[in-house]
Structure 1
């Protein structure tokens, strides 16, 4: 199982490298892309269609249904965790608090943390977890959803997640913070256990806030 986990991590890491060259002032767009040819006003044009985060249905720590549409018009950061994690999750979320504190009053930035152990991480458990961290309001949501669907969704974020009875806490997952723009495209991936990577994430969010909605990285 560990070999499978390592293989999956490497595969997703390679997928994350599929982006165009870009300047220092424009963030790349990660993931797969395809050229789509269509006719507009009698002229044939070719557009690039980028990978986006698909629809999902979860419930947050307040018992409210959260879907892809709930994040319309916002920049957001996503990660995958479980509340009983004995290894990287506590470090990740201590670091994520820096992101929360920086943007909790901005109004256009959110954080979503998907539980990979939804059977244990009920709404009540997630609320207690959020309360202990001092999280209030709707800037940071802790989400419970169907387990199989959540694991599949992680692939769309280019994050590997799986059960492993030999791993600490019974799960293997990557500790990435994934930056998503208002068009639901992946714009960055950061090691959530490394403070310098979290500082880079904060800087990139600010850069993304200034980017016109129509801008596409080249």
Structure 2
């Protein structure tokens, strides 16, 4: 099974709302040291009634509730990451191209924050028909991953694809135009404790992961202050 090349698979997933020069700058360029990380994604307009009056507010994009199964056969939901910063990505265990690069880079994140109760990693398989609980358990063990700080998730394929494209703003879908019929993003997505996306990074490169590591530190500092 093969995926598309890095540039096509990485940029294609970003929603049209992100493809402005200013927002791309927020995603990929370093902000000044004192600035907070931006909250990415389209705001949702909601209408509610307060004291008999209609009030319209806009709320930041937020990762919705979800339910998948990890390599230990435990159900993972939004409650699992409540009060934590986490990094999400999409992969499949038999991927011979960008996934091995991504896992080398994400292992760096795992090693740096191993034992930190405020940081988790969620890797979603886009090939759940093959990537069963036992396959993911073996995959994690071969990476040297122990404990429950880095979880490898499987579940309903459509729900995984949907949360990737509509919530994490990256693509994970079947595509008959590419060898193997599967395309997915090489992005790492940084999510804060309120399930807001605070950064999207090229997970296939050391430079992209260096930026992610820096921004995780900034986000941890933001919560401390």
Instruction: Give the TM-score normalised by the residue count of structure 1.
Output: 0.85
Residues 119/56 of structure 1: CA separation in 2 closer, same or farther (3 Å cut): same
RMSD: 2.9
Residues 11/180 of structure 1: CA separation in 2 closer, same or farther (3 Å cut): closer
- Within the candidate set 36, 45, 61, 1:51 is matched to 61
Deviations 1:71-115 (A, max 9, x none): 100000000000000110000000111000011111110000000
Residues 77/136 of structure 1: CA separation in 2 closer, same or farther (3 Å cut): same
Determine if the alignment matches structure 1 residue 178 to structure 2 residue 189. yes
Task: Give, in angstroms, the shift of residue 36 of structure 1.
Answer: 4.7
Matched with 1:30 is 40
Matched with 1:84 is 94
The answer to whether the 8 Å contact 1:21/1:28 transfers is no
Task: Give, in angstroms, the shift of residue 15 of structure 1.
Answer: 2.6
Runs (5+) with no aligned partner, structure 1? none
Runs (5+) with no aligned partner, structure 2? none
When the two structures are aligned, how many residues end up with a matched partner? 210
- Within the candidate set 3, 14, 30, 1:12 is matched to 14
Task: Give, in angstroms, the shift of residue 166 of structure 1.
Answer: 5.1
Instruction: Give the TM-score normalised by the residue count of structure 2.
Output: 0.83
If asked which structure has higher relative contact order (CA below 8 Å, sep 6+), I would say 2
The answer to whether the 8 Å contact 1:17/1:30 transfers is no
Secondary structure class of the residue paired with 2:14:
helix
Secondary structure class of the residue paired with 1:62:
coil
Q: CA separation in 1, counterparts of 2:135 and 2:146?
A: 15
The answer to whether the 8 Å contact 2:10/2:202 transfers is no
